[in-house]
Amino acid sequence: MRRGFTLAEMLIVIVILGITAAAVVPAIARTVTVDEVTQVTRRIELILNAARTRALEQATSIAVTLAPESGRYWVRDRDRVLDSGTIALDPGVTLWSTAVRPNVLFSSLGSAQGDSIFVRGPTGAAAIRLDPWTGVLHAAAR
């Protein structure tokens, strides 16, 4: 009775795995490519999540205001601006909201109120909205 595998059998399996990996890895790498809309959406999510975290950690209200036409944003508490900057918008990517200056307010308990933000670009669009009870962001691509 023979137990185990021969060296030739193991080499054949390794060669087959190598050929399969060589065919599959480039296909997977192409699907991971991030488009412009996704990049801008993720940047906005990072800013909003950082503001929510700060509101919870400091037990205070934190507001984020966005200027869609320029991509500028301001993060502030009651007294001062804590952070500001510009979201880099690639050509053809625009921000839109029903409000002229979309504003999101995170409370010290984690809840949120504010305007939805839409990112539109040549590859599609995404909507960023907040759960008012938890302050959790939901981004949906179209």
pLDDT, position 41: 92
DSSP class of residue 85? E
pLDDT, position 1: 62
pLDDT, position 43: 94
Q: Which fold has domain 36-141?
A: minor pseudopilin epsh fold (3.55.40)
Q: List the alpha helices (DSSP H) in 32-108.
A: 36-58
pLDDT, position 27: 73
Sign of CA dihedral 23, 24, 28, 29: negative
pLDDT along the chain (142 residues), means of 10: 83 92 78 78 94 94 94 93 92 91 92 92 89 86 70
CB-based burial label for 62 (10 Å; 0-12, 13-18, 19+): buried
Please give the C-alpha separations between residue 98 and each of 22, 95, 111, 115, in angstroms, as whole numbers.
48, 11, 21, 7
Q: Say if CB 71 and CB 89 are below 8 A apart.
A: yes
pLDDT, position 142: 66
pLDDT, position 79: 86
Q: 96: closest CA among 22, 43, 16, 41?
A: 41
Q: Say if CB 62 and CB 52 are below 8 A apart.
A: yes
pLDDT, position 32: 59
